[in-house]
Structure formats: structure tokens, C-alpha cells
Amino acid sequence: MLEILQYSFITNSLLAAFFASITCGIVGTYIVTRRMVFLSGGITHASFGGIGMGYFFGLNPIFSAAVFAILSALGVEFLSKRTEIREDSVIGILWSFGMAIGIIFIFITPGYVPNLMTYLFGSILTVSGLDVWLMLALSVILILFFTFFYRLILFVAYDQNYARTHKIAVDLLNYILISLVALTIVLNIKVVGIILVISLLTIPQSIANLFSKNFRNIILLSIVISLVGVLTGLIFSYKINIPSGAAIIFSLVIFFGLAKATQMILSRSILKTKIQKILE
């Protein structure tokens, strides 16, 4: 079993699973708390424009996607607050614009047309050493940022009007956080793909939220659940030879179903105990 670890793509995929769990666990908790799932989906799909431009200009697609995603995220944040355009409309426009730009640039790129399955549906085994280092750097940044600004992030996540009354720079904090959301999305694209990355940012958090309402506990539980889900998906993918991204999300959805059933059983058991005590 240990012999398989001598292959760099195996160690890279395991490290990517670990760092993806950390980054998605932290950022996903903020996304779910702020109810920004649709916004995150828009950023995810808009980043495809950066991938297409990267191929056309001969750049690393991940770097170009990161720049495009951050600009899209900041654009949504700015336009939804500074103009009369509704946020969901801005998200829909940038979502479709990013996908269209990506398709156009990939189509006009001379020579061999790249296989986009890795970016659309993910392939954790293709994660490179550079990707792992970038995910490590992002993990450190997120841990430090959420540790030092934890209380401010809580204010912004739950009640921005209350935060403003305490002279907190809400707009600046929102711009920083939305940029971190964009970076997290892009750096995890190779793990589960553009189509499925939003699931890694919401399903573990939804499972954790079934058993805890504390922001810090949800982050920690989400990281553990994400890691177990990713590793289970990898094993599942290897055993029956299916795409790793889909296998990871499938595993997490099964976990959610089991967690929900467990919560319902526990709730009924507690309710039954309370009724028995009342009758006694």
C-alpha cells in the first residue's frame, strides 16, 4: 500500500484533498452563512472565461482564471451596491459572459484544442506540484485571516447593518472576503471541476449545520467532512473507474442523506424521551 505513495501524482492528489478540505471548509462556511451560494456559482462559471483566455495567450489557465474570477467577484460586489441593477441579475450576466468568453477564446486558439473535462468536471489526479503549493499558501492565508478577524467576519456574515453601527469597514471586508472566495473556487477547480466545485463549498457545511449552529464548529466539522468525502470519492473513483470529481460529490451527497436521517432519528428519540418524562 505504501509503495503507491512513491508516485508524485498520488501524493499531490492526497495533499490537494487535504488543502481543499481546509480552504472549502473555511470559505464554504462563510458562503453558506451569508447565503451566497448563487453568487459563488456565478464566480465559478465566470472563471471559465479566464481559462479560455489563458489558453489563447499561452498563460497558465489557473492564474488567468484566478484573475478573471476575482475581477468578476469584485464587479458583482461593486455593481450590485453602486447601481440599481439587482445582484442576481449582475451574477447572471457575468456567469453567462464568462462562459461565452471562455468558449470563444478556446475556439479561436490555434492548434490543438485542449481537453476541458479536467476543468469542467475535475480530476484530482492531474493536480500538479504548483497547484499544491498554491493551495497550501491559500490555506495559510485563510487560517490567519479568519483567526485574526474572526469577530469582524462574524459581524459581517450575520448582520452587516449592526457591523456598520460599530464603525467596521464592511465594504472593505466584503471585497477582501469575496476575493478569497474567488481564489478558493479557482484553486479547487482541478479537484472537482467548475460544474461541481460549488458542491464542495456547500454540502459539508450543510451536514455540519445539522449538528451545530456555532460558526467555528461548523468550519471544523466541514473540514473533517470534506476530507472524508474527498478520500471516499477517490477510493470510489478508483474502484469502479469513474471521474473523481463526480465520485467525490456523490459521496458527500450520500453522507448528507445519512446525516439527515441520523438527525431525524436523534430528534425523534429526544422528543420521545421528553414525552415519557412528562407522562411520568
Chain segment 80-111, per-residue pLDDT in tens: 777 667 777 878 888 888 889 888 888 888 87
Is 11 in contact with 5 (CB distance < 8 Å)? yes
- Report whether pLDDT(222) > 80: yes
- Report whether pLDDT(200) > 60: yes
Domain boundaries, the chain: 2-279
Distance CA(265)–CA(267), nearest Å, equals 5
Give the DSSP H or E segment for 91.
Answer: helix 87-108
Segment 26-43 shows an average pLDDT of: 86
Digit-coded pLDDT (tens) for 114-125: 667 677 777 777
Provide the pLDDT for residue 279: 65
Across all residues in the chain, what is the average pLDDT?
A: 84
- At the topology level of CATH, where does 2-279 sit? ABC transporter involved in vitamin B12 uptake, BtuC (1.10.3470)
Q: What percent of the chain has pLDDT over 90?
A: 23
Segment 4-11 shows an average pLDDT of: 68
Segment 185-200 shows an average pLDDT of: 82
Candidate from 153-167, 202-216, 221-235 with smallest mean pLDDT:
153-167
- Report whether pLDDT(7) > 70: no
Per-residue burial over 29-66, b = 16 or more CB atoms within 10 Å of its CB, e = otherwise? bbbbbbebbebbbbbbbbbbbbbbbbbbeeeebbebbb
Helical pair 129-148 and 8-34, crossing angle rounded to 10 deg: 30
Digit-coded pLDDT (tens) for 50-62: 888 888 888 888 8
- Report whether pLDDT(30) > 60: yes
Per-residue burial over 195-219, b = 16 or more CB atoms within 10 Å of its CB, e = otherwise? bbbbbbbbbbbbbbbbeeeebeebb
Higher pLDDT, 96 or 195: 96
Provide the pLDDT for residue 4: 56
Q: What percent of the chain has pLDDT over 70?
A: 92
Provide the pLDDT for residue 1: 47
- Report whether pLDDT(164) > 90: no
Segment 18-44 shows an average pLDDT of: 88
